Amino acid sequence: MIFKSYIIEQNIQSISKYKIFLFYGENQGLKKEFKEKIKFHNKEKEILNLIQDEIIKNKDILTNEIKNKSLFNKEKIVFISQVNDKILEILEEVVEDIKEDNIILFADVLDKKSKLRNYFEKSKNCGIAPCYQDNEITIRKIILEKLNGYQGLSGQIINLIIQSAGLDRNKINNEINKIISCFKDKKIDLKKIDLLLNVRENDDFNLLKDEALKGNKINTNKLLADTVFEIENNIYYLNSINQRINKLNEIENMKKQNSNIESVISSLKPPVFWKDKPMLIEQTKKWNKKKIKEALKKTYNTEIKIKSSSSIRKDLLIKNLIIELCSTANSA
């Protein structure tokens, strides 16, 4: 039985009548939310967390939990993560033995040929829901729902939250939790939000990173002089650079099937925030496989130096990396 994820969001208890339920897809944040909601609404039940690999090695781990029941056992919810087609045979063995318990599965992307996906889509005793990536519309809806009743919530503040976290539901939820913790009186102040989310500081660095990866030497040198590097943010700076280089690598790989850059960028998961698309398009013109491999090696070496030495100034390492990446972008 196939469900739309938004239907389950409205009524998480609707899945309890199915012996086994499968959530699959690339939206890790949504799957995490479903798991937390299921646990919240079933506090009286015993919760068991397993991963597929340990069940494949010893299937008795699952079969014993389902088949060996006594009058004194609590009802169980068994969460099984990282599943794929390999677990199907074991599930088929236990499905008829499930009485009061529920098995909840979590998988990454399953294509239409997946035996596991096909089994769940056709089964009357099992349910399945795809968890597709959020887009800007769904992210805005999440923010509005979770900050409902907060005075001062505006389009500008919503844009700041998205600017800080992108279109990643996990990161969005983290930022929302920060806001809820900080504004207990439910009165949101734009300046305080700006400081809380560190948007301006991160914006300065992201602009510097983007100009460097675009190969703009003049802007990169100017921004290097103006940007303040905070010591505690060194790993954030590296992660930000790595994420963008990996994104360029992903685009480069996808170009083999689709030469239309705008189309490729629109199909990326998670989606690229619309404000970032023009810069990303410009950067793709400067990078190829060879350069990307070189850039990833440079960022890795910089990370090793930052983590292994206490005597070197970390901000200088980041600045040197930025200069090297700008130079690589412009190389033949």
Could you write out the DSSP letters of every residue in 184-218?
Answer: TTSB--HHHHHHHHTHHHHHHHHHHHHHHHTT-HH
**103-114 pLDDT tens trace:** 999 999 999 999
Do 67 and 97 touch, CB atoms closer than 8 A? yes
Model confidence at 286, pLDDT cuts 50, 70, 90, reads very high
Asked whether the predicted pLDDT for residue 38 surpasses 70, the reply is yes
In a 13 Å sphere around the CA of 31, the CA atoms on its Cβ side amount to 24
Average pLDDT, the chain: 89
**Verdict on whether the full-model pTM lies above 0.85:** no
Tokens of 183: 């504004």
pLDDT tens digit sequence for 262-280 = 889 888 877 787 778 899 9
The residue-averaged pLDDT of 14-21 equals 91
In the structure encoding, which two tokens stand for residue 169, read together? 């539901």
Q: What is the mean pLDDT of residues 217-246?
A: 86
User: For the chain, what percent of residues have pLDDT higher than 90?
Assistant: 54
| pLDDT value for 305 | 87
Which tops the pLDDT comparison, 166 or 36? 36
What is the per-residue pLDDT across 180-202, written as a single tens digit (0 to 9) for each?
998 999 999 888 887 787 665 66
pLDDT of 71 above 60: no
| Sign of torsion over alpha carbons 137, 178, 166, 30 | negative
Segment 228-242 mean pLDDT = 81
Any idea where the domains of the chain sit in the sequence?
5-130, 136-197, 200-330
Structure letter (DSSP) for residue 84: -
- Confidence (pLDDT) at 194: 77
Q: How far apart are CA 203 and CA 200, in angstroms?
A: 5
State in words which class domain 200-330 has. mainly alpha
Q: Where are the beta strands (DSSP E) in 52-147?
A: 76-83, 102-107, 126-130
Tokens of 38: 């299921």
- Write the CB contacts of 60 (distance below 8 Å, at least 6 apart in sequence): none
The CATH code for residues 5-130 is: 3.40.50.300
248 vs 83: CA distance, rounded Å:
29
For residues 43 and 75, the answer to whether their CB atoms sit within 8 Å is no
Residues 6+ apart with CB under 8 A from 213: 244, 245, 248, 283, 286, 287, 325, 326, 329
